[in-house]
Amino acid sequence: MSFLSHSLADVQAKEIGDNSRVWQFVVILPNARIGKDCNICSHCLIENDVVIGDRVTVKSGVQLWDGIRVGNDVFIGPNVTFTNDKYPKSGNVDFRLYNAWVEDGASIGGGATILPDIRIGESAIIGAGAVVTKSVPAYGKVVGNPAKITGWVCKCSKTLDFNDEGVATCCGTKFQRENGSVEVINAS
């Protein structure tokens, strides 16, 4: 595999995809898996049991702890905080690892906090500084503390404007809103 690693990075992982870039002061532990065309910015830590898809950007100051799964085409803003323990306590011998999933195309704004056992749906957008305490559905846009849905977005991140029947069209794709979720009903 051919990837760029800054001389001041500590890259122990064996599975890093072609054309990925790892910048200074990044630590990547041996069993982490990172896809191709990723950009891991300075001052990040990626633990062993982490899987990152293709074309992912992880901005500076992010720690990806064991149990985190990141899909393709995801943006993780600067200083986003993930957690993997619902009951943190120093020396906890009963520690239970909780996973977090960030699905394809999702974007997480800078300074957001993602609590354990959360799934961020496809193409969802998490506003800067949001505290995500519940899973976010596909195409959902959430902001605040605790994060609440304030709208729905297309894969291109434009806000979806639904008609009276709960249908919206954006970028040639038709979306249906029903029962607190949105799904694609006709993709171009």
- pLDDT value, residue 93: 85
What is the pTM assigned to this prediction?
Answer: 0.95
Residue 1 has pLDDT above 70, yes or no: no
Domain ranges of the chain: 4-154
Note whether 97 and 66 are within 8 A (CB): yes
pLDDT digits (tens, 9 = 90+) for 156-179: 999 999 999 999 999 999 999 998
**CATH architecture of structural domain 4-154:** 3 Solenoid (2.160)
The pLDDT of residue 38 is 98
Where residue 42 falls (left for φ over 0; alpha for ψ -120 to 50; beta otherwise) is: beta
What is the rounded CA–CA span in Å between residue 147 and residue 131?
Answer: 5
